[in-house]
Amino acid sequence: MKKLHEMSKKELPDLPSKSHTVFNIEPNTVKPEFPDVNKEEINFRYGLLKPYAYAHIYWDEKLKELIYYVDEPELNSEEKKTLILLEDGIRELINISYLSLEKDEKMIEYLEKNVKVLLSELRITPPRDSFLKLMYYIYRDFVGMGKIEPLLNDYFIEDIECNGAGYPLYVVHRKYRNIKTNVIYKDVPELASFVEKLAQKTGKYVSYATPLLDGALPDGSRVNATYTGDISSRGPTFTIRKFTKNPWPPTQLIKFGTISPNILAYLWMAVEYGKNIMVIGGTGSGKTTLLNALTFFIPPQARIVSIEDTRELNLEHSNWLPSVSREGVGLANLVGQKYGEVTMFNLLKESFRQNPDYVIVGEIRGEEAYVLFQGMASGHPSFGTMHADSVDTMVKRLETPPINLSASLVETMDVVISMTSTKRGGKSVRRLKDVNEIISIGKEGGNIVNKPFIWNPISDKYDYVAESHIFNKLIKQQGLSEENIIQEWKNRTLLLIAMYNAGMFDFHEVQKVIDTYYKSPDGVLHKFGIK
């Protein structure tokens, strides 16, 4: 076959117009509603890259577990041979790095044009259905992320986990939690090649000398991977924490029972009046999801500065300055920093010079906690997350190395929300375990905490078990009467319930209602029939 890169321009057909483009991917505009049935009855299919790739979640009676099956077009032997020839030709003809820049219609037109050129050179004229299947796999592998491209297009997937070559990938599904898939990287070379691709996409470098990868994909998804078998005995591995472009609004958390409307209304008031809030819990307990939901309650005109090591938060507010730390290069200096490194500590120090009304830290791990709590003490309302299973554990982490905060600084925290991941009826669920109001922090333990709300695991309900210390603070600090506070709490609870009953789960729509409530509360209540 003639060297493809030597073809003259006269031999290349003109870029086809939209009307001549045969292949296209339909946008996923409708999010599926999952049936609320027993595990053994689950048999549900929805589109990922329509009309070519679908997710099929079903109960495997033989394995006695749920399976996430990526349903893609099947290729016959001739189509497989043609696909191999086309892939070789594309590597020779097209700048592969250019393909990965965008996934829009122009890129698809460009790709289709070159595939037609290759087919003409190979003297192959496949029927329309075969051409579309070939285009799908070329699009998936060269423009997308290969075998996991359908998974990356599933709104309901939070994590994608590969434990080595020859083992099925697992996903963490928003509805069904951990599920085994039919996606497998069959051998080490294939998987190692994919990890190299991940490294390229994150702008990092991975090799036998530097076999650990930690970075972010262009869409913001967080990647952690290993490259060699001496690091992980099953060969290369990777975990992708997907970045959610459309975060869950508070109504979505009500729908899944993660939190109750009256607790959300309470937190809404705490956010509005500038209380400092920390969300704690284990890995995968829903800390960041709840933190993002709380940002819906920030007044629309407020200036927000967020600091993260990997972008996970997504706010609808226009007056929002998102900051992300970055790694440096070369060897570390005497204080342990590399050239060009920008840490969360650096970003947090700068944030207080940016006139923030609210400061949000994605996850608190080290020295940045000192700056954050200093900011709280100086009157900057702040939110954050921490890995801890209780208030006592959180306090111990804050008071011991490497953070070393004083008890007086820890006391600037107003509300600590404890999240948990548990099982109910054989299903993995996330629940707000309790709400803790910090009253005082003892130097040798003996922390005094008020718990107004506690989750009852037997009834799966949230009990209001104690008078709110925060509400009492608002009476003293804001000059509000107890009657006004209770009425406002009731109104916001009813509004959240009304939005939930009206099926308002789009985050733009929910944010608009909350923003309008700040400007015209009576008008919003009247609109939803709340007296």
Condensed to tens digits (0 to 9), the pLDDT of residues 231-269 reads 888 999 999 999 877 889 999 999 999 999 999 999 999
Closest residue by Cα to residue 69 from 191, 219, 179: 179
Burial of 213 (0-12, 13-18, 19+ CB in 10 A): buried
* Domain shared by 375 and 274, yes or no: yes
Of the ranges 296-300, 333-337, 388-392, which one carries the lowest mean pLDDT score? 333-337
Of the ranges 27-36, 63-72, 416-425, 427-436, which one carries the lowest mean pLDDT score? 27-36
Residues in the chain: 531
Please check whether residue 305 is in contact with residue 358, taking contact to mean a CB–CB distance below 8 angstroms: yes
Burial of 456 (0-12, 13-18, 19+ CB in 10 A): exposed
pLDDT score, position 14 = 39
- Inter-CA distances, 431 with 171, 423, 438, Å: 20, 10, 21
How many domains does the chain fold into? 2
Question: What is the mean pLDDT of the segment spanning 188-213?
Answer: 92
* Domain shared by 236 and 259, yes or no: no
Domain closes at, from 196, 216, 241: 241
Which tokens sit at 393?
A: 């554990």
Q: Does the structure show a pLDDT above 80 at 336?
A: no
The CATH number covering residue 203 comes to 3.30.450.380
Residues of the domain holding 178: 4-241
Domain closes at, from 241, 272, 294: 241
pLDDT digits 0-9 by tens, 144-175:
999 999 999 999 999 999 999 999 999 999 88
* Domain shared by 216 and 270, yes or no: no
* Domain shared by 490 and 364, yes or no: yes
Please check whether residue 419 is in contact with residue 432, taking contact to mean a CB–CB distance below 8 angstroms: yes
For residue 378, the one-letter residue type is: S
H/E element, 158: strand 157-162
Alpha helices, DSSP H, located in 295-351: 344-351
Task: Give percent above pLDDT 70 in the chain.
Answer: 92
Which pLDDT band holds residue 95 (cuts at 50, 70, 90)? Answer: low
* Domain shared by 26 and 171, yes or no: yes
Secondary structure class of 505 (helix, strand, coil): coil
Which pLDDT band holds residue 525 (cuts at 50, 70, 90)? Answer: very high
What span, in angstroms and rounded, lies between the C-alpha atoms of 90 and 467?
67
* Domain shared by 186 and 266, yes or no: no
For residue 270, the one-letter residue type is: A
Q: Does the structure show a pLDDT above 80 at 97?
A: no
Burial of 112 (0-12, 13-18, 19+ CB in 10 A): buried
* Domain shared by 204 and 290, yes or no: no
The CATH number covering residue 464 comes to 3.40.50.300
* Domain shared by 298 and 183, yes or no: no
Question: What is the mean pLDDT of the segment spanning 195-207?
Answer: 91
pLDDT score, position 337 = 66
* Domain shared by 222 and 254, yes or no: no
* Domain shared by 210 and 274, yes or no: no
* Domain shared by 229 and 306, yes or no: no
- Select the more confidently predicted residue: 495 or 30: 495
Please check whether residue 508 is in contact with residue 263, taking contact to mean a CB–CB distance below 8 angstroms: no
Closest residue by Cα to residue 403 from 375, 374, 362, 367: 367
Cα of first residue to Cα of last residue in the chain, in angstroms, is: 78
Domain closes at, from 198, 224, 241: 241
Q: Under 8 Å CB-to-CB from 348, ≥6 apart: which residues?
A: 307, 359, 361, 368, 371, 372, 375
pLDDT digits 0-9 by tens, 22-43:
899 988 877 888 888 888 999 9
* Domain shared by 234 and 261, yes or no: no
